[in-house]
């Protein structure tokens, strides 16, 4: 196959940041993607519906002329979040989900939840109205190894929460382990998972072998090869519970290349090329549309996009820039470590 037409994709987990970075990166998403669930971990975070409305306006103002792109807004869950404000934002159509960050789990998560029982009034209201909860599925207690954080979260936080609120719709975002894949497969009701582009391609060797490589460092951190293969199997399976959430997370190079570098991999520019390569390797190009364009809208209760894009495979590798320029500085683009021949036409 040298050409593939699919419905225009959506990104169900995206970091756009704000200010100069937002203006520098948004075109790489709006060029190919119709919609994206936008993460709320700004400084200060997007906590209220009013915050979300203001952030949405800043995003819309930054979209390049001629691009058609809809940001889908989320709220940052805190222990003081107002259930009435959450419900009002959801019923208005402005807010599509609430994001649970365990405090300290990732970039700008220090205002997140430390005691989930204190957020229970919001979660109970969300279960009543059918509003999705997106979770960063890791514990942050220091005695838990960083490579075990997701599995421990499932056991100690997610499963008890689902037993207490079985009607709460939960998206396990950026699943990174076989444990996560298996848990979703075994618990069909009100549970789905997004999978990133980079976790389908790298394992922890990419970060650590031959020297520490900061541009492959992300949170949740990439795991063993066995986990990567489980993610691939889930992504290409056609299972409606798995869909694309790139977790594309731009940081300017000085914030990555330092003694305490930020977590995040910037994949928006070449995600569709990378995914076509992965799905072709797995003999599953016919299921790429489900993963990128159908399963996510079905989970979030939205129609699939009517517009289509075409991917073409060339004889020579696509030449993507290694870095993009923004007014805030250079941002390194994800290098999958193999040539890419597929590109959006």
Which contacts qualify for 162-165: CB closer than 8 Å, 24 or more apart?
Answer: 162/187, 162/190, 162/191, 165/123, 165/124, 165/127
Evaluated on CA atoms 107, 112, 116, 122, the torsion sign reads: negative
Say whether pLDDT at 34 is over 80. Answer: yes
Say whether pLDDT at 247 is over 90. Answer: yes
Residue among 271, 209, 284, 282 nearest 244 (CA): 271
Residue among 98, 102, 100 nearest 83 (CA): 98
Say what the pLDDT of residue 111 is: 79
pLDDT in tens, 122-148: 999 999 999 999 999 999 999 999 999
Say what the pLDDT of residue 1 is: 78
Say whether pLDDT at 107 is over 90. Answer: no
- 257 CB contacts (<8 Å, ≥6 apart)? 214
Say what the pLDDT of residue 112 is: 87
Structural domain span for residue 146: 3-344
Helix axes 83-91, 49-62, angle to 10 degrees: 40
Distance CA 106, CA 222 (A): 14
Mean pLDDT confidence for 13-38: 98
Say whether pLDDT at 218 is over 90. Answer: yes
pLDDT in tens, 57-103: 999 999 999 999 999 999 999 999 999 999 999 999 999 999 999 88
Our count of domains for the chain comes to 1
Say whether pLDDT at 209 is over 90. Answer: yes
pLDDT in tens, 233-246: 999 999 999 999 99
CATH of the domain at 320: 3.20.20.140
Distances (CA, A) of 140 to 63, 143, 153: 35, 9, 9
Say whether pLDDT at 104 is over 80. Answer: no
Length of the chain: 345
Half-sphere exposure of 148 (CA within 13 A, CB side): 8
19: left (phi over 0), alpha (psi -120 to 50) or beta: left
Residues above pLDDT 90, as percent of the chain = 95
Mean pLDDT of the chain: 97
Say what the pLDDT of residue 110 is: 78
In this prediction the pTM is 0.97
Distance CA 33, CA 252 (A): 23
Residues annotated as catalytic (active site), given as ranges = 247
Say whether pLDDT at 105 is over 80. Answer: no
Mean pLDDT confidence for 321-333: 98
């Amino acid at each position: 196959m040298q050409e593939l037409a699919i419905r225009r994709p959506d990104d169900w987990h995206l970091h756009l940041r704000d200010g100069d970075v937002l203006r520098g990166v948004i075109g790489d998403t709006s060029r190919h993607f119709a919609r994206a669930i936008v993460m709320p971990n700004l400084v200060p975070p997007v906590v209220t519906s009013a915050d979300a409305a203001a952030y949405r306006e800043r995003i819309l103002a930054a979209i390049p002329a001629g691009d058609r792109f809809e940001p889908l807004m989320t709220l940052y869950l805190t222990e003081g979040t107002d259930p009435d404000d959450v419900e009002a934002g959801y019923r208005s159509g402005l807010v599509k989900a609430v994001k649970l960050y365990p405090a300290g789990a990732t970039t700008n998560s220090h205002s997140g939840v430390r005691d989930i029982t204190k957020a229970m009034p919001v979660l109970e209201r969300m279960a009543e109205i059918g509003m999705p909860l997106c979770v960063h599925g890791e514990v942050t207690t220091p005695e838990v190894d960083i490579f075990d954080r997701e599995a421990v979260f499932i056991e100690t936080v997610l499963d008890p929460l689902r037993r207490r609120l079985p009607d709460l719709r939960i998206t396990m975002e950026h699943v990174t382990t076989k444990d996560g894949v298996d848990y979703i497969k075994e618990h069909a009701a009100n549970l789905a998972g997004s999978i990133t582009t980079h976790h389908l391609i790298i394992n922890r060797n990419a970060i650590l072998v031959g020297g520490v490589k900061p541009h492959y460092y992300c949170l949740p951190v990439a795991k063993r090869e066995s986990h990567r293969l489980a993610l691939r199997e889930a992504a290409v399976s056609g299972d409606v519970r798995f869909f694309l959430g790139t977790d594309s997370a731009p940081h300017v190079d000085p914030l990555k290349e330092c003694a305490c570098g930020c977590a995040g991999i910037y994949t928006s520019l070449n995600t569709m090329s990378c995914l076509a390569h992965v799905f072709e390797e797995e003999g599953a190009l016919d299921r790429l549309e489900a993963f990128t364009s159908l399963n996510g809208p079905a989970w979030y209760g939205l129609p699939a996009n009517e517009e289509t894009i075409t991917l073409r495979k060339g004889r020579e590798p696509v030449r993507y820039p290694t870095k993009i320029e923004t007014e805030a500085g250079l941002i390194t683009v994800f290098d999958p470590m193999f040539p890419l021949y597929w590109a959006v036409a």
